[in-house]
Chains A and B, each alone.
Chain A
Amino acid sequence: MRKSKLVSLEDAARRVENGMRIAIGGLAVNQHPMALVREIVRQSRRSLTVIGSLNGIETDLLIGAGCVDSLETSYVGLEEFGLAPNFRREVERGRLKVTEFSELLQFDRFRASQDGLTFALSNALAGTDILVHNTQIREIVCPFSGRRYHAVPPADPHVVVVHAPVGDEFGNVLVPERRVLPHNLDLVMTRACDIVIVSVERLVDHDTIRRSAYLNQIPAFRTSCIVEVPWGAHPCSMQGYYDVDRAHFRQYVTAASSEERFQEYLAHYVISPATHFEYLERAGISPGREGQWAAESRA
């Protein structure tokens, strides 16, 4: 009998352990696995290192909840909603260690891990203060051209957490035919490490996967566990399903701008809801009701 990898949200989040290096899918305000991130907070995970390129509310939430000791990234921000308030406050108080990388280099560090290489290369860092503060960087010389590059270690996450449209109980995951950068960067992440945790908007039967095998870009053998979480990226957008919840983002930014009010936000939206569906209810979402643009842009 083939093994089912279907688990509860609680059990999925338990695969993330204290002190791990974690890569979180999604980009800027899109497609972050927010339900899993909230569950990681509920379980009081500590001392995480978050590795990413265009991090957003998922990282800011973990920082505000005290789960993160250090970050390796090129961006933490909320696009139209401005700076990430918890990230900003903790760095300004000297309580969070950030190792700076350029965006392209962060993409490449995951590609290096995907391919089992022991370094990634950049030719864009000369003259920047990234070289002053990031002690992981070494200069190397190309043996063929003599050109100088900067080498950095691969991303090497212990665990990767992503949110995707649909999957089956064995851990096969379909991504949309129409893929844009957030999907593809997520896929690189899932191929860069051994523990891959996936939440999906909808669980489908195995035959559905077989009929669309060409869309199965996270095949079962890669997946450690899978959990069904409708609206699992809320308040971020999920292409083809729902747009960014702007009102919730604004509420988040206001709350996170003070430590005290952020604790109230955490209590109301993260700690006290007994289930993801109770969270959705508090956030004013009824599962099944999709964003206005879902019908026209579903992939």
Chain B
Amino acid sequence: MPDQPASLYERLAVVISRAVRDGEVCFTGLATGEATARYCTLVPVLGMTLAQCLHAPNLTILLAGWCHNPAPGSLTSIPTAEFSPEILNLDCESQSPEYPWSFSIRRGEVDVGFSSGAQLDREGNLNSVCVGDYERPKVRLVGPILQPEHLALFGREIIMMPRHERRTFVEAVDFVSGVGFPGGRAGRQALGLTNEGPALVITPKCVFDFDSEGAIRVASIHPGVGRSELRADTSFDLGVLDDVPWTPDPTEDELRVLRGEVDQVGLLRPR
């Protein structure tokens, strides 16, 4: 179906394909809940596979942190568990049986990480620990997991947020488990963090990036999403949105390779 317009997930996979560079080593991790797995693992992995096919043949994908470079087209279901039979039997080129193994996070060998959380704030801080007061939370979430390492030790982070709502995009997160730019880029530097930190935040409604001061800003809005809707669904002020472009359509070439080589079964086009 080459004439069908790009689905949201296909569009986001293309955003990711354009955001990664040849030669980079890129890491996806554990996800809790199927929606998060689709957003935080499937879309990045297929986006990076597209990049490998189009412009980044030397990019390395670390799926679930341990399955290297799954072959284009090999993924035929959403990877919902890090050590599922699907991933154990996936056609790939290297498997890390242990951490650290062929790569070390602390040596700075991961260039790009993908992570997710329940809350993200205007400073780019990420939270997967709790909603509400820490001692008596309204919702207790899973815990910090590898987020401290993602945000402090990976080259840069692409944050995948499966829901864009007021309760997920907040003024200040209830628990900082992954550090963005508290006190701006200078504040981040004062913490002794030398990596880039959050680079993009990808939601079902828009793509955020961070300006030279480290403040979050809307980089593009997905077609079909109104500016007032975006404001209504975000707790912090988005500033002037007049000149913000639409998130670009995939090119014909991108869509052809995505559907023909990377995602033949249409995981990015859920019914």
Contact = CB atoms under 8 A, between A and B. Distances in A.
A127 B182 contact: yes
B46 interface: no
Contact of B149 (A93, A124, A180, A182): A124
A101 interface: yes
A102 B32 contact: no
Nearest to B138: A92
Contacts of B85: 237, 243, 293, 297
Residue picked from B138, B148, B178, B182, most chain A C-beta under 10 Å: B148
A197 interface: no
A62 B148 CA distance: 27
Interface size class of B (residues with CB under 8 A): 35 or more
A73 interface: yes
Given A91-B140, A127-B179, A28 B82 contact: yes
Interface stretch (B92-100, B226-234, B256-264): B92-100
B97 A124 contact: no
Interface stretch (B129-137, B159-167, B245-253): B129-137
B89 interface: yes
Interface string B23-62: 0000000111110010000000000000000000000000
A29 B149 contact: no
A103 B65 CA distance: 13
Interface string A270-299: 000000000000000000000001001100
B83 A80 contact: no
B141 interface: yes
A87 B32 CA distance: 15
Contacts of B147: 102
B106 interface: yes
A79 B82 contact: yes
Contact of B143 (A74, A104, A122): A74
Given A76-B143, A102-B149, A182-B83, A54 B30 contact: yes
Interface stretch (A43-51, A128-136, A162-170): A128-136
Interface of B: 30-34, 37, 66, 80-85, 88-89, 95-99, 105-106, 129-130, 134-149, 151-153, 175-179, 182, 188, 191-193
28 contacts: A28-B82, A29-B81, A54-B145, A75-B144, A76-B143, A80-B32, A83-B141, A88-B140, A92-B136, A92-B137, A92-B140, A98-B143, A100-B143, A103-B145, A103-B146, A104-B146, A104-B148, A104-B149, A123-B152, A124-B149, A124-B152, A126-B193, A129-B134, A179-B97, A184-B97, A237-B85, A293-B85, A297-B89
Given A92-B138, A133-B134, 17 more contacts: A28-B82, A75-B30, A91-B137, A92-B140, A94-B135, A94-B136, A122-B148, A124-B153, A126-B191, A127-B188, A129-B176, A130-B177, A179-B97, A181-B97, A183-B97, A237-B83, A239-B88
Interface of A: 27-30, 54, 73-80, 82-84, 87-88, 91-94, 98, 100-105, 107, 122-130, 133, 147-148, 178-184, 237, 239, 243-244, 293, 296-297
